[in-house]
Amino acid sequence: MLKPKQVIEFFERLKAERPEPRTELVYQSPFELLIAVILSAQATDVSVNKATKPLFAVANTPEAILALGVDGLKRYIKTIGLYNAKAENIIKTCQILIEQHGSQVPQTREALQALAGVGRKTANVVLNTAFGQPTMAVDTHIFRVSNRTGLAPAKTVDGVERELLRVIPAAYIMDAHHWLILHGRYTCKARQPQCEQCPVYDLCQWSEKPTAPQAD
């Protein structure tokens, strides 16, 4: 496991690479982000953005999406995996938002997780990205990076989340989710990690990382 000084250096380097990290999901409001994150489960951000661009152009409020109905919504999201279940969940979520939250996205994890199709990870993404709360939404990328590098090794998603919140200094916690997910998506890949391009190569504790190339 990385030592505290190494953790600081780890995030300093990720920060230098991406000074202002952002989600790659396209959204203009907390509601649009919530819908995009629900759709993103087992789907790429690119595929979600392609679907939500025409959807949000005609329906970007709970009332408007509810008016589409399940079948109307499916026409916009049919290119996304599990779209049938996601359409039903989104319609139910819109009903809850209208009836219980005045059509606004709630700002607590408990209220978010009470929405249809919203688990802890989705709630954490919304809390962090839309409302600036210091949460950690552990997906497959973050789980892999945390265990592979020795940043926050744990056997479960919840365990990794707890370790990350424990070891990441306050100065980095707000953007840590984005730094880690982007690092896992583009550098610390599952099958073909780009170790030769990795800014934290020397800090990484992965036993299978290739030997660093020697300088000429």
Number of domains into which the chain is organized: 2
Alpha-carbon distance values, 173 to 13, 15, 21, 72, 176 (Å): 14, 12, 12, 39, 5
Interior CA angle at 38 toward 69 and 64, to 5°?
30
Does residue 142 share a domain with residue 85?
no
Residues of 166-193 as b/e, b for ≥16 C-beta within 10 angstroms? ebbeeebbebbbbbbbbbbbebbeeeeb
Interior CA angle at 75 toward 47 and 55, to 5°?
60
The residue range of the domain holding 94 is 30-129
Does residue 77 share a domain with residue 36?
yes
Under 8 Å between Cβ of 152 and 167:
yes
**71 included as an active-site residue:** no
Does residue 125 share a domain with residue 164?
no
Domain boundary among 129, 152, 174: 129
Both structure tokens of 164: 């990350």
List 3, 53, 121, 216, catalytic entry: 121
Does residue 121 share a domain with residue 34?
yes
Does residue 174 share a domain with residue 119?
no
Does residue 167 share a domain with residue 108?
no
Does residue 144 share a domain with residue 180?
yes
List 74, 86, 139, 155, catalytic entry: 139
Structure-token match 């509810």, residue found? 66
- The pLDDT profile of the chain, 216 residues, written as one tens digit per residue, is 999 999 999 999 999 999 999 999 999 999 999 999 999 998 999 999 999 999 999 999 999 999 999 999 999 999 999 999 999 999 999 999 999 999 999 999 999 999 999 999 999 999 999 999 999 999 999 999 999 999 999 999 999 999 999 999 999 999 999 999 999 999 999 999 999 999 999 999 999 998 865 544
Both structure tokens of 158: 């919840």
In this structure, the number of other CB atoms found within 10 A of the CB of residue 211 comes to 6
Domain boundary among 87, 110, 129: 129
**139 included as an active-site residue:** yes
Does residue 114 share a domain with residue 48?
yes
Query: What does the alpha-carbon distance between residue 110 and residue 107 come to, in Å, rounded to a whole number?
Result: 9
Does residue 121 share a domain with residue 45?
yes
